[in-house]
Copies of this chain bind each other. A is one copy, B any other.
Amino acid sequence: MQLTILGCHSATPRISAHQTAQVLEIKNHVFLIDCGEGTQVQLRKYKVKFNRIKHIFISHLHGDHYFGLIGLVSTFRLLTRDTDLHIYGPKGLEEVIMLQMKLGGSWTNFKLIFHELTSKESELIYEDDTVEVHTIPLKHRVYTNGFLFKEKVGERKLDMNAILNNDIDVAYYRKLKQGADVINEAGVLVKNEDLTTDPTPTKSYAFCSDTVYNESIVPIIKDVDLLYHESTFLEKHEKNAFPTKHCTAKQAANIAKQAQAKQLVLGHFSTRYDDLNEFKSEAQEVYQPVDIAAAGKVFQI
């Protein structure tokens, strides 16, 4: 699993401060998470193939998280895309996109499928054989979701030495991978655990932006491998965090600590800060494995 940050600043875009957008590569999927203004140019810059993006997840309808979406959808059309595009986001997103398509006398060559999110509880919004995506209800000034991306537990691995020693017919391999006990050539039942080893450990990624300090997300993101959590402010500006429903670096670290996230990545920085290392050191007073996001930075999970 690999996360590429395209932008991680809040509020207003600047020459070197791009707004929220990320690409998560997971089990052959390329998921786009949020889509601030200029995201399509960032996608080009970091050489993400447009056609591989089939699912876009929008956290909420503040401009720094979705104003780039209509441009990206339009570009997909101009590039004669024919692959379905699924967009997950709050009520209203479909209306905004479709209104602009209509006013432009425009259409798509591809199926544009909106999945409207309205629940205030965590819910499974995407699932296939290899991954699942759950919402993480966040508390912000408008209806907002984070997203939890989880690899599914794969098949058990065949222990070929044990299998040969136990004289197991090849016809049973499929069942073995699925965890079943099998009967060997001599008619004896052999336990699965003697013939296979555990599947590759699964990985997970939680995206949490934007939100006020909110411990109720901890059970949802418990033991996550990588947690991206917003930290719009430093603690010295904590008085700005609550009214705007944002977090400080220290608050983000507190969430990471409670969730025992294996790594915390901070983002959604207010453009008032020049030195982002202060975010890292502030968070590390609470929790050690901290990194800060930056456009173009890649995190291996």
Residues of A participating in the B interface, judged by any CB pair closer than 8 Å: 11-15, 37-38, 40-41, 44-45, 61-63, 67-68, 70-71, 74-75, 78-79, 90, 92-93, 95-96, 99-100, 103-106, 141-142
Cross-chain pairs A/B with CB under 8 angstroms, 11 sampled: A11-B78, A12-B75, A12-B79, A13-B71, A13-B75, A14-B44, A15-B41, A67-B100, A92-B99, A96-B103, A105-B141
Q: Are A95 and B99 in contact (CB under 8 A)?
A: yes
Q: Which residue of B lies closest to A60 (CB)?
A: B104
Residues of B within 8 A of A105 (CB): 141-142
Is A104's CB under 8 angstroms from B142's CB? yes
Chain B minimum-CB-distance residue to A19: B71
The answer on a CB contact under 8 Å between A37 and B68 is: yes
What is the copy number of this chain in the assembly?
2
- A61 partner residues in chain B, CB cutoff 8 A: 100, 103-104
**Other 17 A-B pairs with CB < 8 A, given A12-B75, A12-B78, A67-B70:** A12-B79, A13-B40, A13-B41, A13-B71, A13-B75, A14-B41, A15-B41, A15-B44, A37-B38, A37-B40, A61-B103, A62-B106, A63-B71, A67-B71, A90-B103, A92-B103, A104-B142
Nearest B-chain residue to A101, judged by Cβ: B63
CA A32 to CA B96, docked complex, whole Å: 24
In contact, B104 and A100 (Cβ under 8 angstroms): no
**A288 → B minimal CB distance (Å):** 34
Interface contact B67-A63, CB-CB below 8 Å = no
Q: A99 is contacted by which of B15, B74, B96 (Cβ under 8 Å)?
A: B96
| Closest 10 pairs (CB-CB, A-B) | A92-B103, A61-B103, A12-B75, A37-B71, A63-B74, A105-B142, A67-B71, A38-B38, A62-B104, A61-B104
**For A14, A61, A63, which residue has the most chain B Cβ atoms within 10 angstroms?**
A63
Residues of B within 8 Å of A103, CB to CB, are 61, 90, 92-93, 96, 142
* Residues in B neighbouring A38, C-beta threshold 8 A: 13, 37-38, 41
> Separation in Å of the A184 CB from the closest CB of chain B?
61
Closest Cβ of chain B to A16, distance in Å, is 10
Give the distance to chain B from A7, nearest Cβ to Cβ, in Å: 12
Question: Shortest CB–CB separation between residue A266 and chain B, in angstroms?
Answer: 21
The residue of chain B having its C-beta at the shortest distance from the C-beta of A73 within the complex is B63
Chain B residue with Cβ nearest A13: B41
Q: Hey, which chain B residues are within 8 Å of A15, CB to CB?
A: 41, 44-45
